[in-house]
Amino acid sequence: MIADVSAPEAVLFELDGHVATITLNRPEKMNALNRAMRKELQEAFVRVKYDPEIWIAILTGAGRAFCSGKDLLEKLPEDDGTVMSNDELYVFQRHIYKPFIVAINGPCLAQGGGFTLSSDIRIMSERATLGWPQVRRGISSVSGPTMFACEVPLPVAMKYLLRGVPMTPQEALEHHVVHEVVPHDELMPTARRWATEIMEAAPLAVQAIKESAVRAQMLPLEERLTMARGVADRVLQSADSKEGILAFKEKRAPVWTGR
């Protein structure tokens, strides 16, 4: 049962049990990012991060595109410091230690690719593409060379970035950029299946795994181990940890509370 639905102008937020679905909602503009969308996306990300009842987030787009990148025709007001930039949103999303599943429903370009690469599980419709076309507009990219080029071998990244051509779904799957490519009408059911499978595990333990994995990226081995041990020890104090051990002893399925 849907517990909560809110519908701002540029981003939709739906909460169903412990799963939040965030939908980019400017279909007439192929979900191009403008200031209003960044503001509402920031609010959605903050809610996911700090609401203990939200265990997983699914990110997708309305209409025929996931996100066509920045709205190049927007006349921006003077920056008052209240709305994160695209780059700040990538960093904030990456440091939400709850699983993000992205359901790529159509063309996913430029900044859309940044949000995709900031997600943990990536499901792609057979109608979708993924790319950074900025060089064809006479501009450079941030997420392409700093995120995409760090996920795949550099020659592979250059193949797409230097020409500004997108990856097909099969290419994205071949290079392990996405986890599954599915028929379009199976996209959201597949994303929800992943959410259901993840929620079979204890949410605090899942969050700890993501936290350790993300923080470890920038640390040498000894510091990685120390950090991950501290995170793991913290989870051992949770009620879910005690429930998991008790359920194992009693040969039954555990009941997670996220506490």
CATH of the domain at 224: 1.10.12
pLDDT at 196: 97
Q: State the 10-residue block means of pLDDT for the chain, 259 residues long.
A: 54 97 97 95 98 98 96 79 93 97 98 97 98 96 97 97 98 98 98 98 98 96 97 96 94 94
232 in the same domain as 188: no
Residue 258 lies in a domain: no
Residue 33 lies in a domain: yes
pLDDT at 8: 58
Residue 37 lies in a domain: yes
Residue 90 lies in a domain: yes
The residue whose two tokens read 């440091």 is: 95
225 in the same domain as 145: no
pLDDT at 212: 98
185 in the same domain as 144: yes
Residue ending a domain, among 159, 180, 198, is 198
184 in the same domain as 134: yes
158 in the same domain as 88: yes
255 C-beta neighbours (distance < 10 Å), count: 10
43 in the same domain as 64: yes
For residue 13, which of 43, 52, 53, 39 has the smallest C-alpha distance? 43
Residue 144 to residues 65, 168, 220, Cα–Cα distance (Å): 19, 16, 25
184 in the same domain as 67: yes
Buried-exposed string 95-114: b where 16+ CB fall within 10 A, e elsewhere: ebbbbbbbbbbbbbbbbbbb
Residue 71 lies in a domain: yes
126 in the same domain as 22: yes
pTM (two decimals)? 0.93
Helix axes 86-94, 35-50, angle to 10 degrees: 20
Residue 256 lies in a domain: no
Number of folded domains that form the chain: 2
Give me the domain span that covers residue 227: 203-250
User: What is the CATH classification number for the domain harbouring 71?
Assistant: 3.90.226.10
